[in-house]
Chain A
C-alpha cells in the first residue's frame, strides 16, 4: 500500500463482504460504551476522549456527543496521531501525518483512547508512547468498536463494541458516514460463514 496523502478514502465494498454490524448496531454499541465509560469513571469530570486517526477520531466525536447529552455539558474529543511512534515505519514508504489535537492538559486526567478495530495492539502501544510525551495521565483506558483478536502485545480493551472472532485470512472493515458514506462493519475474505 502506498501511503495515502490526504484524508481517508472510501473503498469499494467487495462482493464477498459480510456485514456484521449495521448502522443501528454501531449506534447502540457507542451508546453503551459511552455509559460504560461514565459508569466506570463515576461521571465525566476527569475524562478526556482521544481518537486515533482516522476513524477512531470520528468515533471519539460520536462518543463525546452522547456524553455531552448525558452529562448536560459540552464535552469535546481530541485526536492523537501515532504515526511517528509506529514500530513499522521502516517497512513502508513514509506515511502522511494526521492531525493531533489535544483539547486539554492530559496531566492527572483519565484518558480514554478510542479506535475502530483492535487487532495486533501495536497502534495502541504507539499511542501509549505518544501520550507519554504529552504528559502523565492518571489512568489510560481503551475503547474500541471491534475487537478482532490476534494480539501481538499484552494489551486489552476496557470498552468493546463487539468481540469479533476472526481468522487471519479475513479483513475487518469499518466504514463510517464521516469518511465512507455508510456506517457498517464488514468482514471480507476468508472462508464463508
Chain B
C-alpha cells in the first residue's frame, strides 16, 4: 500500500487502483454467501462522519464496515453538537478520544477531509466520502470497477477482468460537471487507469480550468455516443443551481438528457451508468434507467465491495512495514 488515507483519486497510482479493484472483485462474492461476514476488522472502529445528507454512500460504507466485522459509529451533523456550533477540529478530537481507527468523512466544504487527515487531530485513516464540489474517490473506484467487469471482464466473468486496467476504453461523462465531485474523481481515476474520458456539458456547467484536466470536452452529446464504451449521466444538482446555468429544464433534457433514441446510438456492448440519486425525466429517461444496458443498481452492489476493499487495504494490515 502506498497510501494511508484515501482523499483524492489522484493519490492512487495505477497499481494501487488495480489492487483495490482486484480486492473488491474477491470481496464481491461475500455478498452471495450464507454468512455475509468476514472477521478481518474485528475490534476496529470505523466512524461515519457525515456533515451532509447522504443515503447510499453512508449505508454503503456502513454495510462494508459491518461485513468486515468492524464496529461502526454513525455521526450526522443534524441533531449533533455541530448544530450547536462545534468545529471540525473539536469533533475530530472527540472521535480520536473514542478511538476511531478510520474516519469516513463527507463534508460540504471541499478539502475538509484533507484537513482532517493532515492536521494531526486524529490518528485514524481518513476516507473521503465526498467533499463539496471536489472529490468522491470511492464512487470513482466503484464506477471503474463496474466498467471493468462489463468492458474488460466480459459481463460477470469469473474473474471480472482481474489484474487489468481500462486501457483504451472511451468513457463519456455527461451533465453537471461543474458541481460534480463524482466527475472530477472519475476523470482523474479513469485517466490513471488508461481510459479516455470525454466530458459533455453545456459551457456553463464545465468548471474553470477543465482544460488542465486529463480529458476532452464537448458540447455535443450525440457526437460522443457512437464511440462510447460507457456513458455516465450526472445528476442535475438542483440544490446547487443558484444561477441560471441553462435556460430551462426542458431544454437541458433535450440536449443533454439520455433518452432511448440516444441510447440506441451507443455501440452494442456499451453500458449506461448513473451515480444516483437519479432525476428521472431530467438527465435520464425512465426507460433508459430501467433498460438492460443500465448498470445503475449494480453500481450500488459494487459500491459495498469496493468500500470493503478500501477499508481492508487501509485497516487490515500493519500500519508500518518495519513490523515484519
Instruction: Tell whether A2 pairs with B29 under 8 Å between CB atoms, given A101-B158, A129-B39.
Output: no
Q: Does B216 contact A (CB under 8 A)?
A: no
Report A95 CB to chain B, min CB distance, Å: 7
Instruction: Tell whether A92 pairs with B317 under 8 Å between CB atoms, given A84-B38, A99-B159.
Output: yes
Report B93 CB to chain A, min CB distance, Å: 26
Pick from B15, B29, B317: contact of A90, CB under 8 Å: B317
Distance of A39 Cα from B27 Cα, bound (Å): 36
Whether B39 contacts A84 by the Cβ 8 Å rule is yes
Q: Does A43 contact B (CB under 8 A)?
A: no
Q: Which residue of A lies closest to B44 (CB)?
A: A90
Distance of A6 Cα from B29 Cα, bound (Å): 19
Whether B163 contacts A6 by the Cβ 8 Å rule is yes
Pick from A6, A85, A91, A133: contact of B318, CB under 8 Å: A91
Pick from A84, A99, A135: contact of B40, CB under 8 Å: A84
Distance of A9 Cα from B18 Cα, bound (Å): 18
- B residues near A139, Cβ cutoff 8 Å: none
Interface size on A, residues (CB 8 A): 26
Distance of A81 Cα from B312 Cα, bound (Å): 15
Q: Which of A81, A89, A94, A134 has the most chain B CB atoms inside 10 A of its CB?
A: A94
Question: B1-57: which have CB < 8 Å to A?
Answer: 1, 15, 18-19, 22-23, 26-27, 29, 33-35, 37-40
Q: Does A97 contact B (CB under 8 A)?
A: yes
Q: 1/0 contact trace for B287-308 toward A, CB 8 Å? A: 0000000000000000000000
Report B33 CB to chain A, min CB distance, Å: 6
Q: Which of B18, B37, B312 has the most chain A CB atoms inside 10 A of its CB?
A: B312
Interface footprint category on B: 20 to 34
Whether B321 contacts A90 by the Cβ 8 Å rule is no
Whether B15 contacts A92 by the Cβ 8 Å rule is no
Instruction: Tell whether A89 pairs with B40 under 8 Å between CB atoms, given A1-B324, A2-B321, A101-B158.
Output: yes
Q: 1/0 contact trace for B196-230 toward A, CB 8 Å? A: 00000000000000000000000000000000000
Q: Which residue of A lies closest to B163 (CB)?
A: A6
Q: Which residue of B lies closest to A87 (CB)?
A: B39
Instruction: Please report the number of residue pairs spanning A and B whose Cβ atoms sit closer than 8 angstroms.
Output: 68
Q: Which residue of A lies closest to B15 (CB)?
A: A5
Pick from A1, A5, A95, A133: contact of B37, CB under 8 Å: A133
Whether A97 contacts B22 by the Cβ 8 Å rule is yes
- B residues near A95, Cβ cutoff 8 Å: 316-317
Report B16 CB to chain A, min CB distance, Å: 9
- B residues near A90, Cβ cutoff 8 Å: 317-318
Pick from A89, A92, A98: contact of B26, CB under 8 Å: A98
- A residues near B318, Cβ cutoff 8 Å: 90-93
Distance of A6 Cα from B165 Cα, bound (Å): 13
Q: 1/0 contact trace for B253-268 toward A, CB 8 Å? A: 0000000000000000
- B residues near A1, Cβ cutoff 8 Å: 324
Q: Does B242 contact A (CB under 8 A)?
A: no
Whether B1 contacts A94 by the Cβ 8 Å rule is yes
Question: A90-144: which have CB < 8 Å to B?
Answer: 90-101, 129, 133-135
Whether A94 contacts B317 by the Cβ 8 Å rule is yes
- B residues near A100, Cβ cutoff 8 Å: 26, 29
Instruction: Tell whether A89 pairs with B33 under 8 Å between CB atoms, given A84-B40, A101-B158, A129-B39.
Output: no
Whether B312 contacts A92 by the Cβ 8 Å rule is no
- B residues near A7, Cβ cutoff 8 Å: 163
Q: Does B313 contact A (CB under 8 A)?
A: yes
- B residues near A3, Cβ cutoff 8 Å: 317
Given contact pairs A91-B323, A133-B33, a sample of 6 additional A-B residue pairs in the complex whose CB atoms are under 8 Å apart = A89-B317, A90-B318, A92-B318, A97-B22, A100-B29, A134-B35
Q: What are some 20 contacts across the A-B interface (CB < 8 A)?
A: A5-B18, A5-B22, A6-B163, A7-B163, A84-B316, A89-B316, A90-B317, A92-B318, A92-B324, A93-B321, A94-B313, A94-B315, A95-B316, A97-B26, A98-B26, A99-B26, A133-B38, A134-B33, A134-B35, A135-B34
